[in-house]
Amino acid sequence: MVKAVVLGAAGGIGQPLSLLLKCNPLITELGLYDIVNTPGVAADLSHIATPAKVEGLLPPDDGLKKVLTGAQVVVIPAGVPRKPGVNDLFKINAGIVEGLATGIATTAPKAFVLVISNPVNSTVPIVAEVFKKHNVFDPKRLFGVTTLDVVRASTFVAEILGDLSKASDVVVPVVGGHSGVTIVPLLSQSSHSLPSGFSDEKLDALVNRIQFGGDEVVKAKDGAGSATLSMAYAGAEFAVKVIQALNGKKGIIAPSFVSLTIDGGEALKKEIGADLEFFSAPVELGPEGVVKINSLGKLTDKEKKLVAAAIPDLTNNIQTGIAFTKKSNL
């Protein structure tokens, strides 16, 4: 019996993500919340012949509180995506995420919180600070969703291998954060080796494509927003892993942007040579959330440089999130 909730459920990510969650038999209750359209989305999904009972709520009449009551897993894709005229996502999304995190901290403080809203490197620290203000912060239960970078890495490697049927078997750890140079694919650890003779230039181009995969979609959508369908796929994949671990399945490991106060975090700080509060690394999941942050493993010199290049942006992004909540009255 698992209740999952999507905050921002009527949006470009929210709707297909809610569809994928509704299709998962592990979920028995699915709560949908947005500032618009959730009753319609919920009515539509409720006709699908799967176990989850769906409800769609809006802000009036304590909708946020009602939807969060009893929630075990809360996924947050609420907020604006990149599009013309929207240059600073943080300005808008910081307040949205802070408001929703306040709702979770007061109504479902034990829920696992999966943050999709960008910029993830800053919105995750915002959620952490809000939870600290309410004295309910459990770092093991807060996740920045970086799975789309992992999904892209698998797909692009399978494309290079000339066999997309392998895409879902290819495992490439992607670490660091979720924006541009903070995205660090560890291609030397790919489950499927790149073709022999794969040149340095080609490797650089592949790293760049994974780091800036979001731009490809924004450009192709030509003003209509950023990745929604691939993000919904990635978000559902990560949410299901969290739910499987919650239900007792062992050995689930996936990269996520998490607090380095968790077991394994101190060792990771030494590995990356930086005293960061958050970093995306492979984490082992269990019924209480993150059991342990794993080592990044053996890195090539190129990968060590990529990690070093990610640190300044990560430091700034994390501090921007923390500074926002310090100034806020919520």
Ligand X SMILES: NC(=O)c1ccc[n+]([C@@H]2O[C@H](COP(=O)([O-])OP(=O)(O)OC[C@H]3O[C@@H](n4cnc5c(N)ncnc54)[C@H](O)[C@@H]3O)[C@@H](O)[C@H]2O)c1
Residue numbers in the known binding site for NAD(+) are 8-14, 34, 93, 116-118, 231
Q: Scanning residues 223 to 262, which ones bind ligand X (CB under 6 A)?
A: 225-228, 231
Whether 178 is catalytic: yes
Interacting partner of 264 out of ligand LMR, ligand X, none (Cβ under 5 to 8 A depending on kind) = none
Query: Do β-strands 53-57 and 29-33 pair in parallel, antiparallel, or remain unpaired?
Result: parallel
By CB under 6 A, the residues from 198 to 227 that bind ligand X are 225-227
**Separation CA 244–CA 263 (nearest Å):** 21
Residue whose CB is less far from ligand X, 230 or 259: 230
Among 66, 82, 133, 221, binds ligand LMR (CB under 6 A): 82
Q: Is 182 in the site for ligand X (CB under 6 A)?
A: no
Q: Residue 190, class by beta-carbon neighbours within 10 Å (0-12 exposed, 13-18 middle, 19+ buried)?
A: middle
Q: Under rule CB under 6 A, how many of the chain's residues touch ligand LMR?
A: 10
What is the smallest separation between the CB atom of 123 and ligand LMR, expressed in angstroms? Answer: 11
**Is position 14 an interface residue for ligand X (rule: CB under 6 A)?**
yes
Question: In angstroms, rounded to a whole number, what is the distance separating the alpha carbons of residues 321 and 138?
Answer: 18
Q: Count the residues of the shown chain that bind ligand X, applying the rule CB under 6 A.
A: 33
| DSSP β-bridge partners for residue 175 | 184
State yes or no: residue 226 binds ligand LMR (CB under 6 A): yes
Q: Where are the alpha helices (DSSP H) in the chain?
A: 14-22, 38-46, 63-68, 89-107, 120-133, 147-160, 200-211, 213-221, 229-246, 265-272, 301-327
Could you tell me which residues are annotated as the binding site? 8-14, 34, 93, 116-118, 231
Task: Candidates 2-10, 271-279, 286-294, 314-322: pick the segment binding ligand X (CB under 6 A).
Answer: 2-10
Report if residue 8 touches ligand X, rule: CB under 6 A. yes
DSSP string, 49-73: SSS-EEEEE-SGGGHHHHHHTT-SE
Considering only 18, 38, 118, 211, the residue that binds ligand LMR (CB under 6 A) is 118
Q: Which is nearer to ligand X, 103 or 265 (CB)?
A: 103
**Which partner in ligand X, ligand LMR, none is near 175 (CB below 5 to 8 A by kind)?**
none
Residue 227 Cβ vs ligand LMR, minimum distance, rounded to whole Å: 4
DSSP 130-175: HHHHTT---GGGEEE--HHHHHHHHHHHHHHTT-GGGTTT----EE
Among 21, 80, 111, 206, binds ligand X (CB under 6 A): 80
Helices 14-22 & 229-246 angle (0-180, nearest 10): 40
State the DSSP code for 198.
-
Contact of residue 36 among ligand X, ligand LMR, none (CB under 5-8 Å per partner type): ligand X
Kindly calculate the radius of gyration of the chain based on its CA atoms and give it in whole angstroms: 19
Q: Near ligand LMR by CB under 6 A, which window of 137-145, 201-209, 213-221, 238-246?
A: 213-221
Shortest distance, position 18 Cβ to ligand X, whole Å = 11
CB 116 within 8 A of CB 231: yes
Any idea of the CA torsion for 91, 95, 96, 97, to the nearest 10 degrees? 100
Is residue 214 near ligand LMR by the rule CB under 6 A? yes
What the block records as the tokens of 273 is 């040579």
Q: Are strands 278-286 and 289-293 parallel, antiparallel or unpaired?
A: antiparallel
Question: Which residues contact ligand LMR by CB under 6 A?
Answer: 81-82, 118, 148, 213-214, 217-218, 226-227
Task: State the catalytic residues.
Answer: 178
Question: Which residues contact ligand X by CB under 6 A?
Answer: 7-8, 10-14, 33-36, 77-81, 89, 93, 96, 99-100, 116-118, 120, 145, 148, 178, 225-228, 231
